Amino acid sequence: MRYGILFRLAVLLSAFGVLATGLTGLYSFLQSRELLVRAAERDLMSATRGAGRRLTTLVRGIGDDVRFFTELETTRAIAEGQDAMVESHKSALADAFHAMLRANPHYLQIRYIGAQEHGLEVVRVDRDSQGTVRVIDDRLQEKAHFPYVFRALALPRGQLFLSKMAINREVGSHSALNQPCLHVSSPVVSDAGQPLGLVVFTVDVSQIFSDLRADLPPYFRLFVTNEWGDFLVHPDASQAFGFDHGQRVLVQDTFGDVQPLLDGNSPAVLARAELGSPGLQPLLGAFIRLPLARDDARSFVVVGVAEPLSEILASSRTLGLTVLQIVAAFSAGAIVLAVFAARLVTRPLKQMTGEVRRFADDQAQGELPTQRGDEIGELARGFRDMQSRIASTLAELDASRRHLAHMARHDTLTGLPNRAMFLDRLEHAIVQTKRQGGCLAVLFVDMDRFKQINDSYGHAIGDLALVKTARLLKSSVREVDTVARWGGDEFVILLESMDEEHEARRVAQVLLDCFARRMVVDQHAVDLGVSIGISLYPRDAFDAAELIQRADEAMYLSKHRAGNRYSVFGNESVE
């Protein structure tokens, strides 16, 4: 199948339009997708910093609560043991512990531990399944070997100790047993600066982080690790506190970009991860390093908030569909415009093609878009010039052809038909006469004294004499008759549609009368005279050559008889 320039140009322009629209749509989609990711990164970092601030506020609040109890006169009175009201003070302090536990669900245990007797618990209130309970007498335990005791006793007044977040394995701790806990403690110091004991809060880490998670959108994931990268909070609960089960699950193994945060080389990072756990999709997360103790740079946690990439890119799917629809609409428009542009371009070309064919068929020059100022206009003007030149050349060729055809059938000197044309007309006349009946005559005319004129006056005068003879012969016969130059000073005349022989004799006599008078040729009076021979069809011959031959014989008969007369083949001559 052959495709025209309209189809090819339309396809080409459509391809350019669709390609440009598609690339623009793809670029817009990718840029919008990137903007969505960047916006999500900003939102995640803001959410992470917000969670960090909330955690810091919670920890500071816990520290304030701890310091509050270390500064109570009741606590000091118990620690110093200077009056008989110690038991009353213990009861009052226990009541305060009860109230604090009831007011703060994330507190699991509050204790006052003395500095003496190996860190024996003095006042202790725990949370259990029924509410809060005070532990007394022999159920009080020695805790001097725990870091939150001996390290807190070594601190100055008002300073806090924060333990590592870990699973609490202390036997008899009621609701705190086997729960992830944080111990916050602060010393009770005498006016002389001696440590008398300490107040320690056991905090439910799960409750704290549940509160943090509740402030986040449901599709956000909360991660918290210790300073080594062990997960303390993970969307998959089995991954949290793995070190307590002899298996370390590190954030840097999942989010490799978090390592600089753990090394202290960056306060915040963005990271991506492909989580392999069931139900967890690829995530984009923002992580910050959050110090817990002001005076210990090594005591920090890493807080991270992550969002599934599917949630981030959910709107991009709608955007992609919208972009696809826009691309399809603009592509359709590009195709329509391409077809219109192709028609606009090819219409004048088709017009010129039609004019080329028309010119090739009949050399007619039609309308061309010569008024255009573009390349098509230049082509049209060039084609118009070519048409004019071809038309001029064809006219010249036609004139030359007609001239050559005329010369091939006419005598160049006199303009009369030549021998070939006379024979052709004679043959046609014989056929017509044979079909319609009647007769025709051939007159063979020879000039009697033409040689003397050439010898006396020259060939130029002789040629002029031949021309005047031709005119005289032609003017002496009818329009339907044919006068031809046979050669030299010989002429032949075809008389058609005759009824009787005397009509040919009459014409011959008219010719004799015309040539009996002197002819003036270029101011020379010459006496020519003619000898005429007549043959008739069908009496004397049945074909052209033989008919001319009979007329020629009759002409020689007139010339042998002194000329200036006519002879009819088979009859006597008449002067």
pLDDT at 295: 59
Cβ count near 264 (within 10 Å): 12
* Residue 57 to residues 52, 210, 567, Cα–Cα distance (Å): 8, 15, 154
Q: For position 482, which CATH number holds?
A: 3.30.70.270
Query: Is pLDDT at 35 greater than 70 in this prediction?
Result: yes
Residue 308 corresponds to which tokens in the numbers above?
């599934």
pLDDT at 551: 93
Burial readout 47-59 (b: 16 or more C-beta within 10 A, e: otherwise): bbbebbeebeebb
Same domain as 466, residue 389: no
Most confident of 227-231, 240-244, 469-473: 469-473
Same domain as 414, residue 401: no
DSSP state of 444: E
Q: Which residue has the tokens 């230049």?
A: 378
Query: Is pLDDT at 226 greater than 90 in this prediction?
Result: no
Same domain as 436, residue 289: no
Share of the chain above pLDDT 70, in %: 92
Euclidean distance between CA atoms 178 and 180, whole angstroms:
7
Query: Is pLDDT at 574 greater than 50 in this prediction?
Result: no
Which domain-ending residue is among 392, 407, 422? 407
3-state secondary structure of 307: strand
Q: How does pLDDT run across 319-353, given as a tens digit for each residue?
A: 777 878 887 887 788 787 877 776 777 777 776 77
pLDDT at 4: 67
Cβ count near 415 (within 10 Å): 13
DSSP β-ladder status, 565-568 and 530-537: parallel
Helix 86-103 crosses helix 5-70 at what angle (to 10 degrees)? 170
Same domain as 370, residue 466: no
pLDDT at 276: 47
Q: Which domain holds residue 447?
A: 410-568
Q: For position 234, which CATH number holds?
A: 3.30.450.20
CB 533 within 8 A of CB 501: no
In a domain, 479, yes or no: yes
Stronger pLDDT, 516 or 378, i.e. the higher one: 516
pLDDT at 386: 79
Q: Taking residues 341-369, report their average pLDDT.
A: 70
CB 223 within 8 A of CB 251: yes
pLDDT at 493: 95
In a domain, 10, yes or no: no
Stronger pLDDT, 116 or 65, i.e. the higher one: 65
pLDDT at 484: 94
pLDDT at 297: 58
pLDDT at 117: 85
In a domain, 202, yes or no: no
Same domain as 361, residue 471: no
Euclidean distance between CA atoms 499 and 84, whole angstroms:
184
Same domain as 282, residue 378: no
pLDDT at 278: 47
3-state secondary structure of 61: helix
Helix 205-214 crosses helix 5-70 at what angle (to 10 degrees)? 140
pLDDT at 149: 93
In a domain, 281, yes or no: yes
Q: Tell me the Ramachandran region of residue 439: left when phi exceeds 0, alpha when psi lies from -120 to 50, beta otherwise.
A: beta
CB 47 within 8 A of CB 216: yes
Same domain as 511, residue 429: yes
371 — phi, psi (to 5°)?
A: -80, -10
Q: How does pLDDT run across 137-190, given as a tens digit for each residue?
A: 889 999 999 999 999 999 999 899 998 888 888 888 888 898 899 999 999 998
Instruction: Tell me the residue type at 462.
Output: G
Euclidean distance between CA atoms 22 and 4, whole angstroms:
27
Q: Which residue has the tokens 């905090």?
A: 203
In a domain, 299, yes or no: yes
Same domain as 558, residue 437: yes
pTM of the model: 0.56
In a domain, 450, yes or no: yes
142 — phi, psi (to 5°)?
A: -90, 130
**Which region among 170-184, 253-267, 426-440 has the lowest average model confidence (pLDDT)?**
253-267
Which domain-ending residue is among 407, 424, 451? 407
Q: How confident is the model at residue 575 (pLDDT cuts 50, 70, 90)?
A: very low
The total number of structural domains that make up the chain: 3
pLDDT at 82: 60
Assign 3-state DSSP to the chain and report helix, strand, coil percentages, each to 5: 50, 25, 25
**Please, what is the Cα angle at 237 between 234 and 238, to 5 degrees?**
110
Euclidean distance between CA atoms 522 and 464, whole angstroms:
8
- Cis omega (within 30 of 0) for bond into 538: yes
Query: Is pLDDT at 98 greater than 90 in this prediction?
Result: yes
Query: Is pLDDT at 554 greater than 50 in this prediction?
Result: yes
Residue 405 corresponds to which tokens in the numbers above?
């055809």
Same domain as 303, residue 229: yes
HSE-CB at 564 with a 13 A cutoff on CA atoms is 12
The residues that are catalytic are 489
Average pLDDT, the chain: 84
Stronger pLDDT, 113 or 82, i.e. the higher one: 113
Euclidean distance between CA atoms 494 and 417, whole angstroms:
11
Q: Taking residues 59-73, report their average pLDDT.
A: 91
Q: Which residue has the tokens 């038909």?
A: 417
Same domain as 414, residue 403: no
Same domain as 357, residue 293: no
Euclidean distance between CA atoms 434 and 97, whole angstroms:
155
Which domain-ending residue is among 407, 433, 452? 407
pLDDT at 432: 92
Same domain as 427, residue 391: no
pLDDT at 14: 76
In a domain, 75, yes or no: no
DSSP states along 445-514: EEESSHHHHHHHH-HHHHHHHHHHHHHHHHHTS-TTSEEEEEETTEEEEEEEEESSHHHHHHHHHHHHHH
Q: How does pLDDT run across 480-516, given as a tens digit for each residue?
A: 899 999 988 999 999 988 878 888 999 999 999 988 8
In a domain, 182, yes or no: no
Query: Is pLDDT at 279 greater than 60 in this prediction?
Result: no
Instruction: Give first-to-last CA distance, the chain, whole Å.
Output: 85
Q: Which residue has the tokens 């210790």?
A: 226
